[in-house]
Amino acid sequence: MLFSAIANYFDDQKVSLNNLPYKKLIVGFSLCNFVFERYVSYRQYRLLQDKTKKLPKILEGKVDSKKFEDSNSYGLAKSKFEMFSSTYTLLTSVALLIFQPTVWNYSSFFADKLVNLVFKKEFASTIILSNVSFFIFRNLISGILSAPVSYYQHFVLEEKFGFNKMTKKLFFTDLIKLNLLTCSLASPFICLLGWIFKKCTDNFIFYIWMCVLFIQISMFILNDLVIQPLFYKFTPLENNELKDKINALAKECGFPLSDIFMIDGSKRSSHSNAYFSGLPFMKKKIVIFDTLIKDSTVDEVVAVLGHEIGHWKMNHISQMMFFSQIHLSIFFRLFKLVYKNNDLYGDLGFNINEAASKSESILTSSNIAVVNDYPFVVGLIIFSYLIQPTDTAMNFIWNQFSRHNEYEADKFATDLGEGENLKNALLSLQSTNLSTISVDSLFSKYHYSHPTLSERLTAIDKHERFFAKKEK
């Protein structure tokens, strides 16, 4: 693994990570990543602008010229928007990085004032509480900065192509809910991480990995019980024909189905989807967007769910969790190399001074924060910037793995005899969602976790021919 090789190199060579220009490295990595992504996006933009491009042969007679043109127009509009939004994101993220000490100072200042007000006495907050308040303050600033871009995406871009169904009231309500939810769920996990960083010094990586695994499992459960119901209305599926066919499919595949729900996705967008939820050792719940039921036939919906059940049957969810744990364990192994590096924090404006008094760490007019312990949330943010080059490389690998899984799930659905229905469903989804048909190869490998429509139809056709020949 790339991360593991890097970690072993630093361990074996005893390479010093002190006195490095961390701020310059981070800005440099961010700019290089930005330039690379703009190059990838430009290739896609240039392809979409090409007036001579033709519909892939496999889609001839299946996608009409009007839909092809609409798909290209939507893709072009998204490409233009992405060029602007990515530039804006780069500027705001670098600004937040540079002014992190100021954010830390103000967040600590207001956290102290709030705690003193609640307990009605002077109270010096701990480093863990300071990290929690910093995360909340930074998340609030980030949410405010990103809101205009999100607003434009929904009410201008998506509205133009008829996808946005969200009201302005719902948009801002969702925004408030999302930020409150993020802060309330993240705060106890940050406290737990802080306790581990402080107490578990001998088996640092193991305990952090166990903590993150616990967080992931908790989020799986909370997503079903708390998060999704806050944003969508779940209604037991009333279409008896569809329900009977789904139950029959689940029984045929040995899928541990507990419930089938329809959600009101149309309240926010006309895009459609379906998925199942539940940990590998739990009963599963199938969730279908009302837009998918509206725009597809019963057999097409069943075929889509056959594909989803294929992911379960082929253990794709478990595989992704397994590789995710490897990735995280290596991430924290690398993080351990710089976690207590004073130069790393110092170059970004954090002066680690164990003898510092509380008053020194809340100089709100200064862009230097004097703290008496290592601000681990700040360290994680800084480190995530430092490993951008490896993240970019891993993105290609992860997408390739995901695309392989999608092909396998399509093959599983085809083996169930749902090949034709699945192809019709994919074509219907393309028509409804205006999925991009003309896709540059590099853009697809970097951004797409799923194969393109023409790639999937070609693979299904190939497997159907092989299956038919095998039966003869």
The set of catalytic residues is 308, 410
Return the structure tokens found at 313. 């049957």
Residues 439 and 461: their CA atoms lie apart, in Å, by 20
Residues 188 and 131: their CA atoms lie apart, in Å, by 11
Write the DSSP string, 417-452.
Answer: IIHHHHHHHHHHHHHHHT--SS--HHHHHHH-SS--
Return the structure tokens found at 405. 């899984």
Packed helices 240-253 and 298-313: angle between N→C axes, nearest 10 degrees: 30
Q: Detail the DSSP E strand segments found in 144-283.
A: 234-236, 257-263, 274-277
Residues 138 and 162: their CA atoms lie apart, in Å, by 34
Q: Detail the DSSP E strand segments found in 254-293.
A: 257-263, 274-277, 284-289
SS3 375: coil
Residues 367 and 348: their CA atoms lie apart, in Å, by 10
Residues 45 and 83: their CA atoms lie apart, in Å, by 10
Q: Are 123 and 116 in contact (CB under 8 A)?
A: yes
Q: HSE on the CB side for 368, CA within 13 Å?
A: 7
Q: HSE on the CB side for 412, CA within 13 Å?
A: 22
Residues 380 and 393: their CA atoms lie apart, in Å, by 20
